[in-house]
Amino acid sequence: MASGGKTKRKRARAADGERGQERDAASQDSQPQAVAIHTPTDAEQERDDRNGVRRVGRREVAAHVSRIAAALRPRDATEVSLLEELAKDVAAGRRGGKGTDAVAAAVARCLDEAALGPDAAGRWALDEGVAWSLAWLLRSKRPGAAGLVERLAAEGGAAAGALSGGDLTAAPLLFTLLGLFSGFPGETQIGDAGRILATDLATMTSAEGAPRGGPAVDFIARVLVWTRAREAAESSGFGFPWDDATEARWKGSCVAALRLLGDRGRVPGRGGPEALDASPLLAILAAADSQPLCRAAAAVKGHRHAPPTGKTIPRDSASEGDSVAVLRTDWGRGAVRLLLDFSSQRHHLEIALGDRLVVSGEWGWSVEADGVPLLPTGPWTVCCFESDAKASFLEIVAPLPGGLQAERQIVLLPRDRVLVLTDSITDAGACLPASWRPDRIAYRSHLPLAEAGASRDAETRELRLRVGDRQTWRVLPLALPEWRAATAAGALDEDGDVLRLRGDGEGGRFSFPVWFDLDPDRADLPLTWRSLSVADQRQNLKRHEAVGFRVQVGLEQWLLYRALDTPRNRTLLGCNVACEFLLGRLRRSGEVSRTLEIE
């Protein structure tokens, strides 16, 4: 007996040691890779061999159903209440008896409502909650469950058809069915869901995940759909719904969507935030392995006006080959966010403050040379992009007939709260002879306001934009004289919900900068601006060669310079410049603090 007992104890210890070695080996094999966004663990799940259904507990099922209900909008929809009741019945149920009867009845009610055809997102959400509940209910051997599975299979077939037709909101249901059930009816029909999503990701984003075009709300909505489908595939045990390249593209799209969010993680809209719920996206970014990304996500979601302390990911996004640029002042509350989509000849511009759009729509542009319209002969491309703590600079260009070039510049000063939008016509530094350049250039543009809130000053050409209920932005057409009594070759006027710009130039080159003062604390301070003389070898240059401007608000002053021909050593307001573009502050001593200088 002693010998046998000792042998058994030794064997038990040996078995424990072997299991410990197996656990150590398994832990080494399952070490997560260092990635920017959380990567799921092993997707293989234990299944019930009798039914081919993944083993799930009622608490797990109730939690999943509750999350599905929480993601639906509006909150008073019928499908939301049905899913919440289903989650409660599952949480209170037991296998056998009245507990399973209540769950089966709740499942049937959800399927009945889905058959009535609510909006697509509501229908597939009901079916997804049913799928989780049936995975738990089937193991109870309750009579009649097979009939519910047949009804769910029919819904799965409808979802597969909807996904093939472009309804991506059906993807989470399909991945849930594939993950929870093996040998599910119609499994081969719904197996292409991952390929369809990967194709959509490749169509909508660049290789780095940046948007290819369109309004910000559309891109964020699409990222949320991809994220929801990926979460459903992971939680159901299906695993990754796409390959590694698509996974990297999706991660990049999540970061791109973060740059477009407003205060408290909300999506900026007209008159207030959109109804989209970006909390699933922010939850994923908050769990990232990258601390700079976590800080940026926390700052966007939080309530602090000050930017986060510590290193964050770049707030701006633009590079060669991109067709969408995004600029921000910071990651804190009340940040100004700008999006420019130049994927086509009709540019889409958005300027948002916090969770409210101020400018949204087509940033129109047209030019005539000696009465002949000039149309770009090629696509718009990024010519220059610079971004640091003090300034963001973006310039896009497009070729025009006759060796001319159209240029659009966006300058954003985060600390100074200043935005400058400039349209220019140049000869791209070729210094074409005067006989080759047009004599007169007629320029027209317009900026669409998200809300009609512009008013003009009675005596000056300053416009004031009412932003929400508390803030006012001041808009200055620097190329025009300050006083309305002075003769001007152009205008800046409000026309309902549109700002219309007009300017005329001579000499074949032209520049029309518009200055936005975004600081509400300066809204009531005295303001003035002047066009400056630019000298080259003691001779004043003409406006088709170089332009300079001084802006003063209260005691703060700025200097803006732009060379329209070949840059060389010049002087304005006592400042020596040899660059193509300069924007800086004028100190009280008269010296210029060069905030941004482009060679």
Residue 188 has a pLDDT of 52
Could you tell me if 492 and 545 are in contact, meaning their C-beta atoms sit under 8 angstroms apart?
no
Which SS3 state, helix, strand or coil, does residue 219 take? helix
Q: Please give the average per-residue pLDDT across 564-571, as a whole number.
A: 92
- Beta bridge mates, 449: 359
How many Å apart are CA 551 and CA 411, to the nearest integer? 15
Tens-place pLDDT, residues 521-532: 999 999 999 999
Tens-place pLDDT, residues 246-298: 999 999 999 999 999 999 999 999 988 998 999 999 999 999 999 999 999 99
Among 289-298, 371-380, 406-415, 426-435, the minimum mean pLDDT is found in 426-435
Residue 44 has a pLDDT of 41
Q: Please give the average per-residue pLDDT across 12-36, as a whole number.
A: 41
- Beta bridge mates, 557: 552
Which SS3 state, helix, strand or coil, does residue 520 take? helix
How many Å apart are CA 384 and CA 409, to the nearest integer? 9
Please report which confidence band the pLDDT of residue 400 belongs to, taking 50, 70 and 90 as the band edges. very high
Residue 30 has a pLDDT of 38
User: Could you give the domains of the chain?
Assistant: 47-274 (no CATH), 363-598 (2.70.98)
Q: Please give the average per-residue pLDDT across 545-559, as a whole number.
A: 96
How many Å apart are CA 523 and CA 473, to the nearest integer? 7
Residue 50 has a pLDDT of 45
Residue in 98, 91, 76, 180 with CA at minimum distance from that of residue 132: 180
Kind and range of the H or E element at 470? none
How many Å apart are CA 148 and CA 100, to the nearest integer? 13
Residue 38 has a pLDDT of 42
Kind and range of the H or E element at 183? none
Residue 571 has a pLDDT of 94
Instruction: Check pLDDT > 90 for residue 43.
Output: no
Residue 146 has a pLDDT of 83
> Which residue shows structure tokens 């029919």?
154
DSSP 245-256: HHHHHHHHHHHH
Residue in 514, 583, 518 with CA at minimum distance from that of residue 553: 518
Residue 144 has a pLDDT of 74
Q: Please give the average per-residue pLDDT across 146-166, as a whole number.
A: 91
- Give the number of other Cβ atoms within 10 Å of residue 341's Cβ: 23
Which SS3 state, helix, strand or coil, does residue 56 take? coil
Instruction: Check pLDDT > 80 for residue 472.
Output: yes
Question: What tokens does 481 get?
Answer: 């004289």
% of the chain with per-residue pLDDT over 90 = 70
* pLDDT: which is higher, 272 or 52: 272
Instruction: Check pLDDT > 80 for residue 415.
Output: yes
Could you tell me if 91 and 62 are in contact, meaning their C-beta atoms sit under 8 angstroms apart?
yes
Q: Please give the average per-residue pLDDT across 332-356, as a whole number.
A: 95
Tens-place pLDDT, residues 375-397: 999 999 999 999 999 999 999 99
Tens-place pLDDT, residues 196-247: 999 999 999 999 999 999 999 999 999 999 999 999 999 999 888 999 999 9
How many Å apart are CA 389 and CA 599, to the nearest integer? 19
Residue 95 has a pLDDT of 58
Residue 531 has a pLDDT of 96
Average pLDDT, the chain: 87
Residue 590 has a pLDDT of 85
* Angle in degrees, CA 451, 454, 457, rounded to 5: 175
Q: Please give the average per-residue pLDDT across 464-484, as a whole number.
A: 93
At residue 72, what is the residue type?
L
Residue 464 has a pLDDT of 94
Which SS3 state, helix, strand or coil, does residue 513 take? strand
Phi, psi of 325 (to 5 degrees): -120, 145
